[in-house]
Structure 1
């Protein structure tokens, strides 16, 4: 028998897992750029913030969102590491090394005091370096066909569910700064990378994360919006606005990609 206190959290975690699984399944089938675009949508961070908003006030959500803005520097490094390492290394090495880089940078960034201006400056520098490195590493052709594995979908569902449960449960003890870091741990991108690498090879995983690098600024603007609006507009209005910003950025990229294809 499941304790009644845990039932709402488990239901929400299952719902979040379903959203991420659906997004990652679509991402695998629409090509590297669009796969990265879909995977970068706040499909795991969004549900985590919704759960946090149920249990915490506007100021807590604002503080967590600022921490997420800062930690996005780690996300950029994580994506670039996957772009560069996936075609050259086996999946456990490339993914494990990228996750270790994310954790190390996130821990280092947490030690420093941050303002909104400082966080945005750090992200701007990270983007400049990221786009330079990615541009200098041309994408390799994808030559492997997908090989379905029975455990792909259940594994992704379990990983995302654990993230949502863990961040929400621990938030009362670890405070808004650490909560904001945990909320954007790249569990959806990691699980997608593992699946694509196994099914299609390192070149496909690299190309997918290349698309995620281009789409990531939309995520940054989304959590920045939540931080700026959580106190004056209320956390629910801020979360809605953050989602709209993320979707707007993605829609703009789709239009740009279509025009680019038409011009080519």
Structure 2
């Protein structure tokens, strides 16, 4: 699709709508502690709207194929969250986030070179999640002090998410479903939470949010699987709706389990 004037207006509108949606969700999460913060941050707040807009421009086969790559990259996001959480115990924001991002790009590049299937992507997630959830468990329970939000916090978050939407939708016509599946779930929400929280509350409380995000990303894996299986037979709109339900259902199950003292 050429970048003509109408497309530019539509793209800006898409970016703005997504940014507003993400802001509303993450502001709520920040006030609810590391568990809820981590779970909400891993809902499809960034990738979900991107997929909605991709579905407006591409057919269901494209969406289903992208979901497979996104499922594989979900394991990369899990690794990113854990690496940051471990480093942030003793390291600065710059070091912790930089090294986590270096790892993300290295792993994502490796993901891009592999022709993933649903089976292999599921196996990858099971292995990575099993290891990372175990390592993240001791880091989860740290109290986050009450924050007083500055106006530029919101601007930063909105800008990061809007940029992700703009880049993905524009590049999707050139990079195909695999590339779109990777860019669509670049951990922009996790990064924005880190950039906001770490300088204000310190590494350990921010790491607690990321440690809980590791658990929350199980729900995102379910969302990707659901989208892949339902997009073609039921249509992209229904597939995306069911994928959102799968992610939300997992988060609610985790909250219910914690409330009743069930270890997860």
Could you tell me the TM-score, scaled by structure 2's length? 0.93
Distance 1:253 1:85 in 2: 25
Q: Which of 52, 71, 75 is residue 77 of structure 2 equivalent to?
A: 75
Cα offset for 1:47? 0.5
Q: 2:233 maps to which residue?
A: 232
* Residues 91 and 203 in structure 2, CA contact (< 8 A), matched pair in contact too: yes
Q: Tell me if 1:11 matches 2:10.
A: no
**Alpha-carbon spacing, 1:260–1:67, altered in 2? closer, same or farther (3 Å):** same
Which consecutive residues of structure 1, in runs of 5 or more, have no partner in the other structure?
Answer: none
Cα offset for 1:201? 0.9
* Residues 33 and 143 in structure 2, CA contact (< 8 A), matched pair in contact too: no
Distance 2:183 2:115 in 1: 18
SS of the residue aligned with 2:147? Answer: coil
**Alpha-carbon spacing, 1:104–1:258, altered in 2? closer, same or farther (3 Å):** same
SS of the residue aligned with 2:151? Answer: coil
Map 1:42-53 → 2, pairs under 5 A: 42-53=44-55
SS of the residue aligned with 1:73? Answer: helix
Q: 1:164 maps to which residue?
A: 165
Q: 2:219 maps to which residue?
A: 218
Distance 1:144 1:201 in 2: 10
* Residues 147 and 200 in structure 1, CA contact (< 8 A), matched pair in contact too: no
Deviations 1:30-69 (A, max 9, x none): 1011110111110111100000000000110011111101
Distance 2:91 2:46 in 1: 27
Q: Tell me if 1:256 matches 2:257.
A: yes
Map 1:110-125 → 2, pairs under 5 A: 110-125=112-127
SS of the residue aligned with 1:26? Answer: helix
Q: 1:58 maps to which residue?
A: 60
Q: 1:90 maps to which residue?
A: 92
SS of the residue aligned with 1:114? Answer: coil
SS of the residue aligned with 2:186? Answer: coil
SS of the residue aligned with 1:146? Answer: coil
* Residues 77 and 102 in structure 1, CA contact (< 8 A), matched pair in contact too: yes
SS of the residue aligned with 1:260? Answer: coil
How big is the alpha-carbon RMSD for the aligned residues of Structure 1 and Structure 2? 1.8
Distance 1:152 1:198 in 2: 11
* Residues 34 and 143 in structure 2, CA contact (< 8 A), matched pair in contact too: no
Q: 1:151 maps to which residue?
A: 152
Distance 2:112 2:8 in 1: 30
Q: Tell me if 1:24 matches 2:26.
A: yes
Cα offset for 1:260? 2.0
**Alpha-carbon spacing, 1:7–1:138, altered in 2? closer, same or farther (3 Å):** closer
Aligned residues: 260
**Alpha-carbon spacing, 1:240–1:141, altered in 2? closer, same or farther (3 Å):** closer
Cα offset for 1:145? 5.4
Cα offset for 1:140? 7.2
Cα offset for 1:223? 1.1
Distance 2:256 2:228 in 1: 28
